[in-house]
């Protein structure tokens, strides 16, 4: 058992376990929790066990497959940043360890990919929806209070699969391919704003047993979003713009180039699809106020 985290508790604060602790949101959440005085346990599959300079107790753990969880003293709260479907089978184990409050992250992909032409993306959307229902059921069965967050495009750590991907293409090639006119609207959300949402929701009764979509603070077209990434990289925007019907041939040719960026037809189609969500419920219930897009 790692005792050090519980020994660093602030007044009235029980321990918080963060799964997926090497994820982009965790990079901002862990220091926020410590500043608020929470004792923190950070769980990851490939981390070195021990207590770091900030007082975060790092624990190696595998959520999938039913392997034992590490012992964590004084635990009352779980923030789940790992894939959502890994959590429902583990709720009973966390409840036995003292957890009574759960904040879990899903994704707006539950909605945006349910009608995709890709069977794999449809399966992902269905898996997220099923995990949401399973989470609510498991928490109810074991008397845990839950809150579910569904972020949109997350950025801010340099390790996400969306904005960071665009930045890599811009830096390497100096040009980005678009499906003209690329007017589908987006709401990128900074990982630190999601971390702040966790802190705000932890002690907020209005968030109990509720799900929230968490978009960013600015709505802009896909093209404008990519232009902002060009600017952040210190580059003038340069695009290869093709009509949607020309993309299938282009992607076929691109697949023959080993160093080419991986772009699928579904991603191309969504450049002209709005993926916009309302943040009014989150604003009302816990003061959610995300920043404009700042890549």
pLDDT digits (tens, 9 = 90+) for 34-63: 999 999 999 999 888 899 999 999 999 999
CATH superfamily, domain at 4-151: NAD(P)-binding Rossmann-like Domain (3.40.50.720)
What is the pLDDT, as a whole number, of residue 95? Answer: 97
What is the pLDDT, as a whole number, of residue 5? Answer: 54
Q: What is the CA radius of gyration of the chain?
A: 20
Under a CB-based contact definition with an 8 Å cutoff, are residues 274 and 194 in contact?
A: no
**65, exposed or middle or buried, with CB in 10 Å at 0-12, 13-18, 19+?**
exposed
What is the arithmetic mean of pLDDT over 261-278?
81
Tell me the range of 70-74, 139-143, 172-176, 253-257 where mean pLDDT is highest: 139-143
What is the pLDDT, as a whole number, of residue 251? Answer: 65
Q: How far is CA 159 from the centre of its chain?
A: 11
Q: Is 218 helix (H, G, I), strand (E, B) or coil?
A: coil
What is the pLDDT, as a whole number, of residue 66? Answer: 80
Helix (H) or strand (E) holding 125: helix 119-141
Q: Which two tokens stand for residue 32?
A: 């926020």
Q: How far apart are CA 142 and CA 216, in angstroms?
A: 33
What is the pLDDT, as a whole number, of residue 254? Answer: 60
Q: Per-residue b/e over 17-43, b at no fewer than 16 CB within 10 Å? A: bbbbbbbbbbbbbbeebbeeebbbbbb
Residue that wins the pLDDT comparison between 153 and 255:
153
- pLDDT grade, residue 149 (50/70/90)? very high
The residues of the chain that CATH labels 3.40.50.720 are: 4-151
What is the pLDDT, as a whole number, of residue 196? Answer: 98
pTM for the structure as a whole: 0.90
Q: What's 255's DSSP letter?
A: T
What is the pLDDT, as a whole number, of residue 268? Answer: 80
């Amino acid at each position: 058992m790692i005792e050090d985290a519980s020994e660093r508790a602030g007044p009235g604060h029980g321990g918080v376990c963060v799964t997926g602790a090497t994820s982009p949101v965790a990079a901002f959440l862990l220091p926020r929790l410590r500043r608020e005085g929470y004792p923190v346990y950070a769980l990851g599959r490939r981390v070195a066990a021990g207590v770091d300079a900030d007082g975060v107790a790092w624990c190696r753990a595998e959520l999938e497959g039913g392997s034992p969880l590490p012992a964590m003293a004084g635990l009352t709260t779980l923030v789940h940043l790992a894939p959502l479907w890994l959590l429902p089978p583990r709720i009973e184990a966390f409840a036995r360890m003292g957890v009574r409050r759960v904040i879990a992250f899903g994704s707006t992909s539950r909605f945006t990919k349910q009608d995709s032409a890709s069977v794999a993306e449809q399966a992902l959307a269905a898996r997220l929806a099923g995990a949401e229902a399973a989470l609510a059921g498991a928490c109810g069965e074991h008397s845990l209070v839950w809150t579910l967050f569904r972020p949109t495009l997350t950025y801010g750590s340099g390790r996400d699969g969306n904005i960071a991907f665009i930045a890599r293409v811009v830096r390497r090639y100096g040009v980005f391919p678009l499906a003209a006119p690329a007017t589908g609207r987006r709401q990128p959300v900074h990982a630190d704003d999601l971390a702040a949402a966790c802190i705000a929701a932890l002690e907020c009764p209005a968030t109990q047993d509720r799900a929230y979509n968490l978009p960013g603070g600015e709505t802009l077209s896909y093209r404008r979003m990519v232009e902002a990434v060009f600017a952040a990289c210190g580059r003038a925007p340069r695009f290869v713009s093709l009509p949607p019907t020309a993309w299938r041939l282009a992607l076929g040719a691109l697949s023959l180039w080993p160093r080419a960026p991986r772009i699928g037809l579904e991603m191309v189609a969504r450049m002209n699809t709005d993926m916009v969500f309302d943040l009014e419920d989150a604003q009302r219930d816990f003061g959610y106020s995300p920043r404009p897009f700042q890549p």
